[in-house]
Structure 1
Amino acid sequence: MMQLVIDYPDALPDALRVSRNEFEQEARMAMAVKLFELGRLTSGQAAQLAGVPRVAFILDLHRYGVSPIQITPDELAEDFANA
């Protein structure tokens, strides 16, 4: 597995009142959620990036204001037309 290293100020976790591990997990989750929202990753790929089970990832999406169903209005209309 590859590794991404991101520098951040030492005081940042303290400023957010979280531990270093909590901050790093939240950053991984935020990156995974955004890539999922943009359609760059599937929910399974995003969950793997976040280091959580797929179901946990999907259930946590509401915390970020992201729907687990990523479909455009045009795609939905096309699905209805094909049904």
Structure 2
Amino acid sequence: MTRSIWKGPFIDGYLLKKVDKVREGGRNEVIKMWSRRSTILPQFVGFTFGVYNGQKHVPVSVNEDMVGHKFGEFAPTRTYYGH
């Protein structure tokens, strides 16, 4: 079941502050984050986020196709070794 439209997308508050700080500074750095449940917004396009997968921060470069998805979808938590 999807989230209702009237509630809007979920984004952790600290994440917006970090993105604004990097945008003001003009630096191109990896933004470390632990919130895998946050939704990717159009204003995040072009940034690189370090999404925590339980062991390390996986670098995720956000492009236009990722908007509307969750950050956790792009940082797998389990390693598939095959059968």
TM-score (norm 2): 0.29
Relative to total residues, which structure has the larger helix share, 1 or 2?
1
Bigger radius of gyration among the two? 1
Q: More strand by proportion, 1 or 2?
A: 2
Higher relative contact order (CA 8 A, sep 6+): 2
